Chain A
Amino acid sequence: MEYLEKNMSQVENGQLKLTNIYKSFGSVRALNDVSIFTEPGKIHCLLGDNGAGKSTLVNIISGVLTADSGEYLVNGKKVNFSTPKQALNAGISTVYQNLAIIPMLSIYRNFYLGNEPIKNNYFKFMDKDLAISTTKQELTKFGVTVNDVKRPAGTLSGGQRQCLAIARALYFGAKVLILDEPTSALGVKESANVLNQLVLLKEQGINIVLVSHIIDHAYDVGDLFYILKMGELAGSYDKNDVSSKLLRSILSK
């Protein structure tokens, strides 16, 4: 539990502010003067077509990439992440569509990957019993009941994998949760479950950024919508001011 408290203490709440972000890859300008603001207790949807710059923006937020210019503030403090680990330590956790879970690794080893509970400081022995019982307990909170968490994570369904990744992020102190296409590979029922979990998390004061190209899913749960087009912010809308039909027409224009 020590490391959990350690992680938590570094994070007050979770407010992100990115202003005038630019990012180019060679001659390709991926992001052109993009600014977004996200706050706890809301679901912010990042919408846009393929190549609109969603992934680049997510990668900058999560520390995979560094912006060429622009300002990135977490809780009002300027940050400059150069690795995903730094963003994680600041309470910003990203659940990637395909990279969230390692199928060959067991469920509990996935849960604790990079945050292994240590029994013996000298030899760095993993506390397997603790890892197994905690993994089970945390998964149950997300409606996933698994008897044997020593099974490879590849045996879980797509929805269960998303829940595992989300449960893990929150357990290790995430205040900001970024989800990259969480429902695009899921069936109707599983999508609904994942989206319901997001609403519950929002109510607990988590700052959620949802990247999706499925407008219906986004509109169902979202509070704020940022629309990216060709690397530029084409607009931001509050749910009260926009219908899903309107969003769709803006996007397809």
Chain B
Amino acid sequence: MAGLAFVWFFFSIFGHEAFLSLSGARSYLQVSSEIGILAIGVTLLMISGEFDLSIGSMIGLSSMTVTLLTINADISMPLAALITLLIVLLLGFLNGIIVVRTGLPSFIITLGSLFIIRGVTIASSKIITGRTQLGGLETANGYNIMAFIFNNDVQVGGVAFPISILWWIILGIIAFVFLNKTQIGNWIFATGASKETAELMGVPVFKVKISLFIVTAFCAWFIAMTQTTTYGGADVLRGEQKEFTAIIATVIGGTLLTGGYGSIIGTMIGALIFGMVRQGIIFAGADADWFQVFMGIMLIIAVLINGIFRKKYVTG
């Protein structure tokens, strides 16, 4: 919270006045919503004690698959999106089942799947189309329906806000209620805090973890659909490094890397900070490269604070 206020004031003072306008808000909220939707899945998974580094490559795979199915296989785009969703959910399931069955760190397993998925996406795209970028979705069958869901505008005060902001808020509320008010929410916290104890108390920790890998994959698919409808096409490299930015937003939001503690509201604030910094730097007229430096520093500070907080929190 303090971090959010700090960032906002920082760019209000040093930034351009456009940062404070509605179109300024539109600009950073769009960035925030995209990273925020992804970070919702990442947060739930991280609280349960796992990582998924392959989500970025799942975005590339989803955007390529849906475009290929729509244009090359001439399937209606909503149906293509549905098939893509099934593929991606299956990949999430596979990530999950491999992690829980082998007991290996998810960091390593999903680092592997990151490369596999990205490699398969690039290679098959080259084999099928001879290219790594595809376009022309706007005129495709069923594009209108998809664009209505993922690439619409909501007018607020004469400024067209992208619908992804609304989706971010809706998904955030659902995840918040799920995590804090339901039985499974309790299981997620317990699984991440102490897998052994949770198991002894009868919590199905494997099922919890696998489900959350699937939820994270769903979030990647969701972002891929937003991007594909926005750009009217696909790029095999889409989603690159998104896995890291989503983790940064999550950690800045106060979720512990080791699991067992975290919040959706924190993550949404983290994503908001992320968007503000990225667009704020542009508004301030500085080179956008400084954004990376800024986020890196924020991440390290956040981890330090989280660590201190955790010690205090647990021992009282």
| A interface residues, Cβ below 8 angstroms from B | 62, 64, 83-85, 88, 94, 96, 99-105, 109, 112-116, 118, 123-126, 128, 151-152, 154-155
Choose one: A102, A103, A128; the contact of B198 (CB below 8 Å). Answer: A102
User: A154: nearest residue on chain B (CB-CB)?
Assistant: B314
Question: Is B186 touching A100 in the complex (CB atoms < 8 A)?
Answer: no
Question: Is B260 touching A105 in the complex (CB atoms < 8 A)?
Answer: yes
Q: Give CA–CA (A102, B82) in the complex, Å.
A: 40
- The size class of the interface chain B forms with chain A is 20 to 34
Q: Give CA–CA (A100, B194) in the complex, Å.
A: 10
Most interface-central of B182, B186, B194, B198 (chain A CB within 10 A): B186
Query: 5 smallest A-B Cβ distances: which pairs?
Result: A155-B316, A154-B314, A114-B201, A85-B202, A114-B202
Overall SS of chain A's interface: loop
Choose one: A99, A118, A125; the contact of B200 (CB below 8 Å). Answer: A99
Contacts of B185 in A (CB 8 A): 126
- Kindly provide the distance from the CB of A91 to the nearest chain B CB, expressed in whole angstroms: 14
Q: For the A-B complex with A103-B314, A113-B190, A124-B183 known, give 6 more contacts whose Cβ atoms are closer than 8 Å.
A: A62-B200, A96-B197, A104-B310, A105-B193, A114-B201, A124-B184
Question: Is A99 touching B182 in the complex (CB atoms < 8 A)?
Answer: no
- Kindly provide the distance from the CB of B247 to the nearest chain A CB, expressed in whole angstroms: 20
User: A84: nearest residue on chain B (CB-CB)?
Assistant: B200
A100-B197, A103-B193, A113-B186 given as contacts; is B202 within 8 A of A154 (CB)?
no
| B interface residues, Cβ below 8 angstroms from A | 181-186, 189-190, 193-194, 196-203, 260-261, 310, 313-316
Q: Give CA–CA (A112, B193) in the complex, Å.
A: 15
Question: Is A152 touching B313 in the complex (CB atoms < 8 A)?
Answer: yes
Contacts of A99 in B (CB 8 A): 194, 196-197, 200
A99-B194, A112-B186, A118-B183 given as contacts; is B261 within 8 A of A104 (CB)?
yes
Question: Is B202 touching A104 in the complex (CB atoms < 8 A)?
Answer: no
A152-B313, A154-B316 given as contacts; is B183 within 8 A of A109 (CB)?
no
Contacts of A113 in B (CB 8 A): 186, 190, 197-198, 201, 203
Most interface-central of A62, A102, A103, A125 (chain B CB within 10 A): A102
Question: Is B202 touching A88 in the complex (CB atoms < 8 A)?
Answer: yes
Most interface-central of A96, A103, A113 (chain B CB within 10 A): A113
A123-B182, A126-B182 given as contacts; is B200 within 8 A of A104 (CB)?
no
Question: Is A105 touching B189 in the complex (CB atoms < 8 A)?
Answer: yes
Contacts of A101 in B (CB 8 A): 197
Q: Give CA–CA (A226, B31) in the complex, Å.
A: 66
Q: Give CA–CA (A116, B187) in the complex, Å.
A: 9
Question: Is A125 touching B198 in the complex (CB atoms < 8 A)?
Answer: no
- Please, could you name 20 A-B residue pairs with CB atoms under 8 Å apart, sorted by A? A83-B202, A84-B201, A99-B197, A99-B200, A102-B194, A102-B197, A104-B194, A105-B190, A112-B186, A114-B198, A114-B201, A115-B202, A125-B183, A126-B181, A126-B182, A126-B183, A126-B185, A151-B316, A152-B316, A154-B313
Question: Is A104 touching B314 in the complex (CB atoms < 8 A)?
Answer: yes
Question: Is B200 touching A96 in the complex (CB atoms < 8 A)?
Answer: yes
Most interface-central of A94, A151, A155 (chain B CB within 10 A): A155
- Kindly provide the distance from the CB of B219 to the nearest chain A CB, expressed in whole angstroms: 20
Contacts of A155 in B (CB 8 A): 314-316
Q: Give CA–CA (A114, B199) in the complex, Å.
A: 9
Q: Give CA–CA (A152, B189) in the complex, Å.
A: 12
User: A113: nearest residue on chain B (CB-CB)?
Assistant: B201
A88-B202, A102-B197 given as contacts; is B182 within 8 A of A125 (CB)?
yes
User: A88: nearest residue on chain B (CB-CB)?
Assistant: B202
Q: Give CA–CA (A84, B203) in the complex, Å.
A: 10
Q: Give CA–CA (A105, B198) in the complex, Å.
A: 11
Question: Is A102 touching B260 in the complex (CB atoms < 8 A)?
Answer: yes
Contacts of B181 in A (CB 8 A): 125-126, 128
Q: Give CA–CA (A123, B179) in the complex, Å.
A: 12
Contacts of A96 in B (CB 8 A): 197, 200
A84-B199, A84-B200, A104-B314 given as contacts; is B261 within 8 A of A126 (CB)?
no
- Kindly provide the distance from the CB of A113 to the nearest chain B CB, expressed in whole angstroms: 5
Contacts of A152 in B (CB 8 A): 313-314, 316
Q: Give CA–CA (A125, B179) in the complex, Å.
A: 10
Contacts of B315 in A (CB 8 A): 154-155
User: B260: nearest residue on chain A (CB-CB)?
Assistant: A104
User: A63: nearest residue on chain B (CB-CB)?
Assistant: B200
User: B181: nearest residue on chain A (CB-CB)?
Assistant: A125
Most interface-central of A62, A84, A114, A151 (chain B CB within 10 A): A114
